[in-house]
Structure 1
Amino acid sequence: MLSLMLIIAIMVPVLAFAATAGFSTAKYEYGNVTGSVYSDVYAVGAGDSVYVYVYSGGSIVTSTTATYDTYSDGKYYYNFNASAIGYNTLDLVTKVTYNNTVSDLATLTVNRVITGNNSNGGGGGGGGGSSISNGAISVSSDGFVDPNTLSTALTAGDITLKLSGTVALLPASSLVGNGSKTITVTNDFGTYVLPVSVFKLEALAKALNIEVKDLKIKVTIAKADSTTSDAVKAAATAVGGTQLADAVDFNVVGIDKDGKTTSVDFGKTYVSRSVNVSKAVDASKTTGVLYNETTKKVSFVPATFTTVDGKNVANIKRNGNSIYTVVESNKSFADIASHWSKTDVELLANKLVVEGSTDTTFEPERNITRAEFAALAVRSLGLTSAAPASTFSDVKSDAWYASSVATATYAGIINGYEDNTFRPDAQITREELAAIVIRAMDYASISTNVTDPQSVLSKFKDSNKIVWAQKEIAAAVNAGIINGLTDDTIGSASKATRAQSATMLKRFLSTANFIN
């Protein structure tokens, strides 16, 4: 009898808690489930806990410990907050551990909502969801995209997602088999045009240690916060420019149900995104820029400018995520005032691709070194700088060009010599220059194939002096990137000047539609 009474005494608090427990509030929005549970008996002491378990389709999504908050109106309240990204309906179960015994206390079903709370006993609140209208899917502010809606839309062709907020959560299961399609994501801050082929779903799932069916692609288009925006404005001013657009963060990652992310590698695919510009611009004096949060500097990214539905728009192309804006400059140099390269040099200076030897001089006729042109090639492609590498015996890791050489080498647009040297200070020849520009075009997926190189080179009487880059020079001539020194000479062995380099890069960027 005594034993029975002790058992009953131990169980009474739990039973009382279970009998009087419930969900006071529960809300599911922006990928989070928040709320509180209550009881009129405080049954949890040291070593005991109240939990909330989150289920979807009978499988647990996540769980969290509810934290004691307050005592009010004869009840004890416990708050909870759990991440549950991209589900439509969730089942909540609150449990208590008491004296190492786990007991169910209450259950509640909640639907994904945009605003408002759900009371105990019931689902939903409704709101949100993704619906198709005129070929576009409207996405509510929590970013949820219904898998069936997305699959149906992609079956019909390319689609547009119109965001109410800043985030879209694309279920990977709906992307499988749609590698030829394109998803355009747009909101008030900008537009992102994403080929489905850039999402290497299996690799992303593996990186997160999940299956593809549990993977989502999180796309974010958001205005930079005030601290970052101020830093971007300061960086634009530092290069002598004026900022003409909000700083907008474009980001794409793979994400699992717990919110763990992994970066999406675009490879060599230049992905388009656009931002609104505050005024009509002179494209020769305006450029898209990337803001580097580590260096606090801005740098050139490929961008063209247009007007769409009365709005001035910058179309930015790059194979990576970052914060972007638009900068206007008006640069010139005294020593190019009457030089044949004046227009090209000024344009590329305003694009932040080339720099002067000083603030007032460019030295257009000075020969350019291999290291200098490697830096220009990397800059013109808008590449993310790689860490200095020990690839070449004569490139020291602390040299100003070490990162540029490593980046250009990694991208396959520049090579060293057979003796494992790069010869960074050697003056570059027109032959080498042409080859590097053609490799840059290949990197940007611009066709440079020439069926019969000799027929292209036949008009140059010195074409037999080309040492190794016959195909590359023929391709450069065919694409209008390089001209002869005269009508019948190519001058492949001649040392290239800074003016020639700038002009060839300008032609490359125009051919690639990286500038206008």
Structure 2
Amino acid sequence: MRKKLTALLLACLLLVCLVLPVSAADAPALYGTANAADGTVTVTLSLRGGSAVRSGAFTLSYDSSLTLSKTEKGLPLAVANTKEKGKVVCNWVGGAAEADQAVLTLTFTNAATKSYTFKVSGAKVTDKNYETTKIADFPIRIYVACNGKNCPSKSYKDVDQTQWYHNAVDYVLGNDLMKGTGKTTFSPDATLTRGMVVTVLGRAAGVKTSDYTGTSFSDVKAGSWYAPYVQWASKQGLVKGYEDGTFKPEQNVTREEMVTMLFRCWQSEGNTWKTDVTALNAYKDSAKVSSWALPAMRWAAANGVVNGVGDSMLEPQGQATRAQFAKIIMVYLENLA
């Protein structure tokens, strides 16, 4: 997990992603980079510290909706087995000299406006003494932005493509995290409800709705669009009901409530962090954050999940909007999840 965020740059034509798994100093490491432009994704697996490496192997799994159109060998004796769709098995002989060297570059076409994760597993390298070092599995993530023509939000008349929320709305629509409020409306400035928040979090977590058929709250009807996600969130400890046994799924949430649900979701994955109050205290209205929301708001501010609403104001108890949540969930998933 990356604890600190650099500025989030989502260019409509090009995005670059780098994943470098942790390894001991001077030990050989396999890492991946990904680039996206105009519906094409290029993934390169490279070797670092390979002067002593004599051979190696890895398996890369990819979204089968992508089309693997080109395979380029970085090392002369690299062999890629691409017979099974959705998987590339690579074995190579040889290693880099002093500088890093690409082992294999894969080009994928037919990429939609969404996030893709390429999973590298079973990686290992063998040195001249025939000693094998296993490299921990790692993901290579890339978000393919729209090029201005195929934006998921294009059909929504109330989404202004010049506004700050445009890329975020495309992101949540392209990744099936949020849906429009009508055939031609997204309602970016509409308030956000408790039911909406847990639904988006559940979709992001890949919740299998058939696993959550019951209901723990008197006002959450089984079969409603948010029911399985509310049940999941309750079981995960992300939300709690009210004393009268209700959940109030249609009740609007404040910005601090929204962030607290997200923080609990992050914690439920076993994540921890060292408290840093500096970023939150920089906001003029930081004293207005409720005591119960302080841990979450400090985490969100320190990690760039929230960036205020202008003029150094956070408005923690202001009503959260759909556009704001789209931006926050995009930042969270791309940088912390």
Equivalent of 1:404 in 222, 229, 237:
229
- Secondary structure of the 1:484 match is coil
Counterparts of 1:138-287 in structure 2, within 5 Å, are 186=59, 191=61, 243-245=65-67, 278-279=108-109, 281=111, 285-287=113-115
Q: 1:422-461 residue pairs with structure 2 within 5 A?
A: 422-451=247-276, 453=277, 455-461=278-284
Deviation at 1:316, TM superposition (A): 8.1
CA distance in 2, matches of 1:356, 1:371: 15
Residue 404 of structure 1: how far off its partner (Å):
0.8
Residues 277 and 361 of structure 1: CA distance in aligned 2, closer, same or farther (over 3 Å): farther
Name the CA distance, whole Å, in 2 between partners of 1:490 and 1:471: 15
Deviations for 1:86-122, whole angstroms, at most 9, x for unmatched residues?
xxxxxxxxxxxxxxxxxxxxxxxxxxxxxxxxxxxxx
In 1: Cα distance, 2:281 partner to 2:265 partner: 25
1:342 aligns with 166
CA contact (8 A) 2:215 2:227 kept: no
- Does the CA-based 8 Å contact 2:191-2:322 persist in structure 1? yes
Report the identity percentage.
27
With the length of structure 2 as denominator, give the TM-score of the two structures.
Answer: 0.56
Cα contact 2:198–2:233 (8 A) shared by 1: yes
1:371 pairs with 180, 195, 210, which one?
A: 195
Aligned length: 221
1:215 alignment partner in structure 2: none
Distance 2:114 2:297 in 1: 31
Q: Map of 1:109-120 to 2, 5 A cutoff?
A: none
The code of the aligned residue for 2:330 comes to K
Q: Relative CO higher for 1 or 2, CA cutoff 8 Å, sep ≥ 6?
A: 2
- Structure 1's 503 and 448: CA in aligned 2 closer, same or farther, altered over 3 A? farther
Distance change >3 Å, CA 466–CA 341, structure 1 → 2? same
- Check whether the contact 2:212–2:228 (CA below 8 A) recurs between aligned residues: yes
Whole-angstrom CA distance in 2 between matches of 1:475 and 1:447: 10
Could you give the per-residue CA deviations for residues 44-91 of structure 1, whole angstroms, max 9, x where no partner exists? xxxxxxxxxxxxxxxxxxxxxxxxxxxxxxxxxxxxxxxxxxxxxxxx
Q: Aligned in 2, Cα 1:248/1:404: closer, same or farther, shift over 3 Å?
A: farther
Q: How far apart, CA to CA, are the structure 1 residues paired with 2:283 and 2:243?
A: 29
Q: What amino acid is the match of 1:336? A: V
Q: Distance in 2 between matches of 1:286 and 1:464?
A: 37
- Post-superposition offset of 1:409: 1.9
* Contact 1:462-1:489 within 8 A present in 2 as well: yes
Distance 2:269 2:331 in 1: 14
Runs of 4+ residues over 6 Å off in structure 1: 246-250
- In the alignment, the residues of structure 1 paired with residue 86 and residue 181 of structure 2 have an alpha-carbon distance, to the nearest angstrom, of 33
Mark the runs of 5 or more structure 2 residues left unpaired by the alignment: 1-28, 30-56, 69-83, 88-105, 121-137
Provide the rounded CA distance (Å) in 2 between the counterparts of 1:278 and 1:460.
Answer: 44
Query: 8 Å contact 2:61–2:118 — kept in the other structure?
Result: no
TM-score, normalized by length of structure 1?
0.38
CA contact (8 A) 1:374 1:408 kept: yes
Letter in 2 for 1:286: K
Is 1:351 aligned to 2:175, yes or no? yes
1:499 and 1:472 map into 2 onto residues whose CA distance is 20
Displacement of 1:410: 1.9
Task: Indicate how the Cα distance of structure 1 residues 354 and 495 shifts in structure 2: closer, same or farther if over 3 A, else same.
Answer: same
Q: 1:485 to 1:330 in 2, by over 3 A?
A: closer
Compare CA radii of gyration and give the structure with the larger one: 1
Partner of 1:476: 300
Tell me the CA shift for residue 358 of structure 1: 2.5
Partner of 1:416: 241
How far is the alpha carbon of 1:280 from its aligned partner? Answer: 7.3
Output the CA distance in 2 between the equivalents of 1:379 and 1:461: 34
Q: CA deviation at 1:347?
A: 2.1
Give distance in 1, aligned partners of 2:168 and 2:334: 11
**Aligned match for 2:214, one of 389, 397, 400:** 389
Secondary structure in structure 2 of the residue aligned to 1:356: coil
Work out the CA distance in 2 between the residues paired with 1:450 and 1:487: 25
1:273-306 deviations in Å (ceiling 9; x for gaps): xxx8742747xx1345xxxxxxxxxxxxxx3699
Counterpart in the other structure of 1:331: 152
Question: Structure 2 counterpart of 1:502, which letter?
Answer: A
CA RMSD of aligned residues (A): 3.6
Higher strand share: 1
Relative to structure 1, is the Cα distance of residues 436 and 248 closer, same or farther in structure 2, using a 3 angstrom cutoff? farther
**Compared CA separation, residues 331 and 191, structure 1 to 2 (3 A):** closer
Closer, same or farther: CA 304–418 of 1 in aligned 2, 3 Å: farther
Classify 1:286/1:434 alpha carbon distance in 2 versus 1 (closer, same or farther; 3 Å).
closer
Match 2:287 to one of 450, 464, 481:
464
C-alpha displacement of 1:357: 1.7
Question: CA offset at residue 344 of structure 1?
Answer: 1.2
**Residue correspondence of structure 1 range 285-300 to structure 2 within 5 A:** 285-288=113-116
Partner secondary structure for residue 474 of structure 1: helix
- Closer, same or farther: CA 476–394 of 1 in aligned 2, 3 Å: same
- Aligned in 2, Cα 1:410/1:482: closer, same or farther, shift over 3 Å? same
Residue of structure 1 in register with 2:332 after alignment: 508
